[in-house]
A and B are shown apart, each in its own frame.
Chain A
Amino acid sequence: MISPSLFLDILIGGLILGAIYSVIASGLNLQYGVTRMLNVAHGDFLMLGAYITYFSVTLLHLNPFASIIIVGPLMISVGLLIYALIFRRVVTLSRTAGELEFRSLLLFFGLSFVIQNLAMILWTANYRGYEAPSLGSVTIAGVPFEVSRILIALLSILINVFLYLFLRFTKIGLAMRATVDQPEGAQLVAINIYTIFAISFGLGILLAGWSGILVSVLYSAINPFMGVPYTLIALVLVVLAGVGSFKGNIVGGFILGYLAYFTMRVIHSALTLVVIYAALVVILLVRPRGLFAR
């Protein structure tokens, strides 16, 4: 039933999708792990990243991959600005961690409505796409693969490697990991966790923007509401991975990527979200704190 060429297609297609998923979720996982604020507008920041890519390709005639240098600073500024304007207040206002979680969740929902509808008013609800310069395709065992898709996978892996190195070897990364494990302990050793909160917040949104580049190269259907399914995927992946687990994020990304790609190719693409959600249910039943919970 599954021919060798389909098998190869799933093998590599799932790999590409998995790599992208892990980047999409890494931002969310980092942000939530450090600050305990769950960004349900994550997909909408991804959408903003995709629009910035679109405009830098059509107006500035940049290569979509090169737009990483424009998306990066822009998104991190957006993230820091939103943190300073909205979330800093809630962090100081909330008396308990539970209260902070509850309020920030609702704030993010409000933010999600605002971002989506501002985008719709500014750029209309029409689908947009850009023509990425074709890089041709390579044929592996009789199955053609576009070079740009393979580049996306490589770029995703590169982003994850950089993130890993950042978290593992820099002082800020160390402070972030300390804050995930023990917020009080981190404060005791003179880490200003509010600065760390702001940095993680900005970094999470930066990663969302970068994943917007990846997604826009892959599908090239940019629309104000494109982010919603990615928010759902990122949320599922964070649960699957376990909060604050980098390893879980990578492994979980590939599990979900293969699952989604297999469903798209073999069963039916309309059922992708259903299958992902079913996977979430099974995992929560077996391990309520995620597969790689610490």
Chain B
Amino acid sequence: MIAVFAVLLAAPFFISAYYLAMLTSVLCWIGLAVSWYFFSGVTKYVSLGSAAFFGVGVYVTAAFGKVLPFPLVILLAGVIVFLFACGIGLVTLRLRGIFFAIFTYGLAELLNNIILFWEMKVTGTRGRFVISMNVYYPILLITFAALLTILFLMRSKIGLALRMIGDCEEAAIHFGVNTTKYKILGFAISSLFMGLLGAAFAPRWGYIDSGIAFNPLYSFMPAIMTLFGGAQILIGPIVGAVIISILEEYLLTTFKDYFMLILGSIMIIVILTLPDGLTGKLLKRGVKALRTPP
């Protein structure tokens, strides 16, 4: 992992601007997918609200980017998103399964509508400019921080509690796990990284409006990537994010109009043919290979 980090740290000196931009988005998607996996993949509380937290991060940069130094802006975004996610978690995590998914699905749409209305009625503007800069290093750092934190947390008490909730919430309650506390904490940590990534990614656009910041694609993609890669182990979302984001780049540049159509079809085919994801399939095969002597 350190070797990969070192290679990525040196990457800007070797590759062209186009590939650097692509690498930045791949890294950002890895960060988002891993954050999604940490809460939704593990507990099976499907959140479709990643875009809301990502978007809040984007807007923090848009609002404070010119006033505060950049690292401070990202820090501020982290604090705001963390508190926001705690609040949302407090309200919604009593909901089971599908209700939680619906609620989070509407969250990004709601924020989008509120900001649109605010801009229309109060400021009379549409969208705003953001400080413009290369965001490769901030994204790299945040994604690796997310990976390390989640790797560490998965082995700690929080990770165990979340995994138990995913397997059987009733059993977890009977074992004296404070499920509400861990669910909120897990949700807030997962959202925190999404917000940080949003704040760090914003300068790449230069100009944003609520439609860009709260694009529902940011809600679906982490979920699709994790499922495609497999939600059993942490490698799953990483593999999924790399493959799907490169595919996205390719499809967007060659068949722009058919992008969403193909993405939707892939989603359907993946769920029908690889219900446990790519790594899930390999994992199963590996276990089988170990069990049956040659």
Chain A interface (Cβ within 8 Å of chain B)? 32, 38, 40, 86, 89-90, 93-94, 98, 101-103, 105-107, 109-114, 116-118, 120-121, 232, 235-236, 239, 268, 270-271, 273-274, 277, 280-281, 284-285, 288
Contact indicator B260/A277 (Cβ below 8 Å): no
**B246-274 to A contact mask, C-beta < 8 Å, 1/0:** 00000000000110110111111001100
Number of residues of chain B lying within 8 A (CB) of chain A: 39
Q: Please give, as numbers and ranges, the residues of chain A lying within 8 Å of B266 by CB-CB distance.
A: 110
In this assembly, does B56 line the interface, its C-beta being within 8 Å of a C-beta of chain A? no
Question: Which 8 pairs of residues, A with B, have the shortest CB-CB distance?
Answer: A113-B264, A110-B267, A117-B261, A114-B264, A110-B268, A110-B264, A117-B260, A277-B110
In the assembly, what is the distance between CA of A195 and CA of B101, in Å? 27
Q: Please give, as numbers and ranges, the residues of chain B lying within 8 Å of A98 by CB-CB distance.
A: 44, 97
Rounded to whole Å, the gap between the CB of B278 and the closest CB of chain A is 15
CB-based nearest A residue for B265: A114
Rounded to whole Å, the gap between the CB of B257 and the closest CB of chain A is 7
Contact indicator B102/A107 (Cβ below 8 Å): no
Give the residues from 203 to 257 in chain B that come closer than 8 angstroms, CB to CB, to chain A: 220, 223-224, 227, 257
Contact indicator A86/B268 (Cβ below 8 Å): yes
CB-based nearest A residue for B217: A113
Chain B interface (Cβ within 8 Å of chain A)? 44, 46, 91-92, 94-95, 97-99, 101-103, 105-106, 109-110, 113-114, 116-117, 120-121, 220, 223-224, 227, 257-258, 260-261, 263-268, 271-272, 275
Given known pairs A102-B44, A273-B109, A274-B110, the reply for A239 and B99 (CB within 8 Å) is yes
In the assembly, what is the distance between CA of A10 and CA of B267, in Å? 43
Contact indicator B267/A113 (Cβ below 8 Å): yes
Contact indicator A105/B101 (Cβ below 8 Å): yes
Sampled A-B contacts (17; CB under 8 Å): A38-B98, A86-B268, A89-B272, A101-B97, A106-B227, A107-B268, A110-B263, A110-B265, A121-B257, A232-B106, A268-B121, A274-B114, A274-B117, A284-B95, A284-B99, A285-B91, A288-B95
Contact indicator A109/B267 (Cβ below 8 Å): yes
Rounded to whole Å, the gap between the CB of B218 and the closest CB of chain A is 14
Apart from A94-B275, A102-B46, A106-B223: 13 A-B pairs, beta carbons within 8 A: A90-B272, A93-B272, A103-B275, A105-B46, A110-B268, A111-B268, A268-B117, A273-B110, A273-B113, A280-B103, A281-B91, A284-B92, A284-B95
Given known pairs A268-B117, A273-B110, A281-B91, the reply for A239 and B102 (CB within 8 Å) is yes
